[in-house]
Structure 1
Amino acid sequence: MREGVRRLLGARVRLRWIHLILGGALLMPYFLLAQVGVGMAAGGVNALSSFPLTLAAYAAALPLAAATAVYGLVRPLSVTAVRAMCAVPGEGLAEGPARSWAARGRTAAWWTLHLGVGALVSGMTLAVPPMAVVLIALPFVRRLRDVELGLGWFSTRADPYLAPLLGIGLLAGLALCAAAAGALLARLAPVLLGPTAADRLAAAEERTADLAVRNRLARELHDAVGHALSAVTLQAVAAQRVLERDPGFVREALAAIEDTTRRTVGELDAVLGLLRDGDPARPDAAPAPTLAADLDGLLARTRAAGTPVTAHQDPGPPGDWARLPAIASREAYRIVQEGLSNALRHGAGPVDLRIRVQPGHDTGPRHLEITMTNAPAAPEDRELRTTGGRGLRGCAERAALLGGSVEAGPHGDRWRLRAVLPLGGGDR
């Protein structure tokens, strides 16, 4: 008994009932417009004065409702109402406006069904309870018994004491109809308001774009801040060791720390600016470092940290790298920076860096080749690894964006990092 009452009058059923009544209210503007047209077509009569004309106005209102549902914003409004009132899981419903005509057609079908069924349930909700109350009170109110309430096969004068049963049956029937209609709409909502293939593709593209931005920010923060912290740490340790013996070296180390932190703060400010959605780039923001403009300073700061670096560059000094494509120059700088950071943290002895432009040939286009080798530190001298290999993974992602590749691992008795970045057919 209790389970039956819950199924007919539970909280979920009541919310769905209200959702249906809301649909009936939304149909009223269409219905009033349609009944004017039906009344004029019937010779200028009031369509509400005739039940057949009222049904005709109701039937004419449904196409009007369907026509307005092709607007894209109808779907998010419907989805919001369904989530709040129909107990339909959110993952089964589409996000955002309907874009394709297929999605708009399904939305129009839902809108028409919601408003059409809601109008019928709303009409029953308005008419049945007063009639049921009269029937239930009929045996107890003499004046009501004196009024003939002809209900077809049932006569209130002939069978007044059966009227309460009929009234209770009408209320139960109303609740049953509302519960069935609400359950029907809840079952059809994922079918008509669910995401189409185009919606799923758009959502996947949005997630991919968001993930790409997050990965880019992670790479920039890791490479810029990670390298700076490694260099500053080593410079500070070296300065502390010779603080009493070599004041000149200490001054150079402090100057290098100042320069490194100043540059890193500028890079960090530029990266954090990307986190503000829609925030345009500041005119005074530091430009992204490139191989052409910043390689010389990067090598100098690494040497100031106490690690000798021998650089072999083809076609020549760092200024000659200005002819590289801008994106290749930026990504190459970050790869070199990460390689030097690894050498500072995990290597021992000098670093040999070779950067050259290889001409194109039959097997591939012109490309930039970066090779960096250094001796690995002894196991007892290695810094505890806490980065989980994110730097090398970031290098591989940078190279992959340009169609290149990165290899890192033991090479004989040394550690080698080799990156190949395609440059295209000519200078740009």
Structure 2
Amino acid sequence: MRPRATVLVGRRADVLFGRRARRRWIHLILGGALAMPYVFVGSVIVGPLFGDSGLFESFGAQLSAFAVGLPLAAVTALFPLTRPMSVAAVRALCAVPDDSLAEGPARSRAARGRTAAWFTLHLGLGGVISGMSLALPPFAGVLIALPFFVVLGESRIGMPGVFGEPWMVVLAPVIGVASLVALAACAATAGGLLARWAPDLLGPTPADRLAAAERRAADLAVRNRLARELHDSVGHALSAVTLQASAARRVLDHDPEFVREALAAIEDTTRRTVGELDAVLGVLRETGGSGPTAPAPTLATDLDGLLHRTRAAGLPVSATVDADPTALPPLVSREAYRIVQEALSNALRHGGAGAPVSLRVTLDGPDLTVTAENPLPSGSADRRPDRRPGGGHGLRGVADRARLLGGACEAGPASGTWRLHVRLPLKGQP
């Protein structure tokens, strides 16, 4: 094991010269480079006060130009795009957690003010560290090499007279190395301060967090809607096709006519499901260039076909429609169709072979009600019909559809039957 002192020295050296310190140093030099145009403008402003010849020879003139340029940088930092560029640089070079920084332009007054403060600090500290990085290494190199110049007889190398003293010749390399270490320490300190202040000045404001939460909620709603549409359309088709194929297999040897009808029904179901799948994907597909998509199924246009396909799958369905589907709002008609489709799918999967289903679609005052009842298999009176491995999403989707329209959904066993009752308000729907 290495001695403790060696480990401590290694850690301190990593703090000053490690990869993170070097990247933060580069970030500071980038700030110094960005500060140069503002310093030039400041030099134009303060130049008449010092005279053209003394502007670049006077340290005070240079500080004055720097001091005048920083407020100009703060003003230009008020533009919204300053924050995305600053955040990108911080993420790439400052080792700051991504989730602590804001996304997108600064839009509120507080966000722009904090961005201006960050930009000014970055350019200010970056200008100082950049100036030190340009001046100190050559000076330190001369000090480190000073004894060699003396040995070679070059005692006058443009250094002040004090550097010709014997004791200074001995200390010069130490001073040179110390100045380089001091430069690294200043750069590490400034980079660490910027990294610490970045989440406070470039982090999300409450408005940013609210906008991000709204975007996540919108994305989740879109995904949930797609999941519901796929479950109801494709799930119903697969259930019907499975039953039709199973029935055809059982009578394949002695009832070829039924097999032909089952295969025709399977073909019709799959063809229609492809169209519905296109409609489902069209819900999320952007218009303009993607081409037309199939219209979403509704009670007015597709209920009869749904009942026909379900009966062809071997499920007796008695349907009562006490409403004019063509007079329903399109959104209600579409969601009611999906609810009926899910109710029939559950009956196909769980109601037992040949178990009859009673379906009622009626107007109840200002609401449209959908009620479906089917007998439960023996021994399952207290079990939800969709409770199966990987399942359980059908009734949740029905409840979501009803809730999004301001309605309600009730489902549960009652006297050996499974009853689904959904209420969809018509008032206020587009």
After TM superposition, give the deviation of residue 179 of structure 1 in Å: 0.9
Note the alpha carbon deviations across 1:275-301, whole angstroms, 9 max, x for none: 55x354855421100011111111111
Structure 2 contact 143–175 (Cα < 8 Å) conserved: yes
Judged with a 3 Å threshold, the aligned counterparts in structure 2 of structure 1 residues 387 and 330 are, in CA distance, closer, same or farther, namely: farther
Q: 1:353 aligns with which of 359, 363, 374?
A: 359
Pair 1:25-2:28 in alignment = no
Pair 1:293-2:301 in alignment = yes
Secondary structure at the counterpart of residue 400 of structure 2: helix
* Amino acid aligned to 2:373: T
Structure 1 contact 148–156 (Cα < 8 Å) conserved: no
- For this pair of structures, how many residues does the alignment match? 413
Matches within 5 A, 1:200-239: 200-239=209-248
Task: Name the residue aligned to 2:159.
Answer: 149
Matches within 5 A, 1:138-217: 138-142=146-150, 145-147=155-157, 149-150=159-160, 155-157=163-165, 159-217=168-226
Structure 1 contact 48–54 (Cα < 8 Å) conserved: yes
Task: Name the residue aligned to 1:61.
Answer: 69
Structure 2 contact 41–69 (Cα < 8 Å) conserved: yes
CA–CA separation in structure 1 for the residues paired with 2:315 and 2:132: 86
Matches within 5 A, 1:271-286: 271-276=280-285, 278-280=286-288, 284-286=292-294
Structure 2 contact 386–395 (Cα < 8 Å) conserved: no
Task: Name the residue aligned to 1:3.
Answer: 11
Structure 1 contact 71–104 (Cα < 8 Å) conserved: yes
After TM superposition, give the deviation of residue 149 of structure 1 in Å: 3.1
Matches within 5 A, 1:18-417: 18-40=26-48, 42=50, 47-142=55-150, 145-147=155-157, 149-150=159-160, 155-157=163-165, 159-276=168-285, 278-280=286-288, 284-315=292-323, 320-348=324-352, 349-359=355-365, 366-378=366-378, 385-417=388-420
CA–CA separation in structure 2 for the residues paired with 1:191 and 1:351: 62
Q: CA RMSD in A?
A: 2.2
Structure 1 contact 62–112 (Cα < 8 Å) conserved: yes
Note the alpha carbon deviations across 1:99-150, whole angstroms, 9 max, x for none: 2121111111111101110010010011001111111222221355335634
* Amino acid aligned to 1:252: E
After TM superposition, give the deviation of residue 84 of structure 1 in Å: 1.5
* Amino acid aligned to 2:56: L
Judged with a 3 Å threshold, the aligned counterparts in structure 2 of structure 1 residues 34 and 83 are, in CA distance, closer, same or farther, namely: same
What are structure 1's unaligned runs of at least 5 residues?
Answer: 360-365
Secondary structure at the counterpart of residue 426 of structure 2: strand
Judged with a 3 Å threshold, the aligned counterparts in structure 2 of structure 1 residues 41 and 279 are, in CA distance, closer, same or farther, namely: farther
CA–CA separation in structure 2 for the residues paired with 1:147 and 1:337: 94
Structure 2 contact 335–401 (Cα < 8 Å) conserved: yes
Judged with a 3 Å threshold, the aligned counterparts in structure 2 of structure 1 residues 225 and 206 are, in CA distance, closer, same or farther, namely: same
* Amino acid aligned to 1:355: V
CA–CA separation in structure 2 for the residues paired with 1:293 and 1:272: 19
* Residue range with higher mean Cα deviation, 95-104 or 203-212: 95-104
After TM superposition, give the deviation of residue 61 of structure 1 in Å: 0.9
* Amino acid aligned to 2:357: V
CA–CA separation in structure 2 for the residues paired with 1:387 and 1:289: 26
Structure 2 contact 386–394 (Cα < 8 Å) conserved: no
Judged with a 3 Å threshold, the aligned counterparts in structure 2 of structure 1 residues 249 and 281 are, in CA distance, closer, same or farther, namely: farther
After TM superposition, give the deviation of residue 406 of structure 1 in Å: 1.1
CA–CA separation in structure 1 for the residues paired with 2:46 and 2:396: 71
Judged with a 3 Å threshold, the aligned counterparts in structure 2 of structure 1 residues 419 and 165 are, in CA distance, closer, same or farther, namely: same
Note the alpha carbon deviations across 1:230-256, whole angstroms, 9 max, x for none: 011111222233334434333332222
Task: Name the residue aligned to 1:421.
Answer: 424
After TM superposition, give the deviation of residue 373 of structure 1 in Å: 0.4
Identity of aligned residues (%): 62
CA–CA separation in structure 1 for the residues paired with 2:128 and 2:144: 24
* Amino acid aligned to 1:373: E
After TM superposition, give the deviation of residue 155 of structure 1 in Å: 4.8
* Residue range with higher mean Cα deviation, 239-248 or 256-265: 239-248
CA–CA separation in structure 1 for the residues paired with 2:173 and 2:289: 76
**TM-score using structure 1 length:** 0.91
Judged with a 3 Å threshold, the aligned counterparts in structure 2 of structure 1 residues 148 and 28 are, in CA distance, closer, same or farther, namely: closer
Note the alpha carbon deviations across 1:144-190, whole angstroms, 9 max, x for none: 53356349xx6543632222222122112111111111111111011
Secondary structure at the counterpart of residue 175 of structure 1: helix
After TM superposition, give the deviation of residue 222 of structure 1 in Å: 0.6
Secondary structure at the counterpart of residue 319 of structure 2: strand
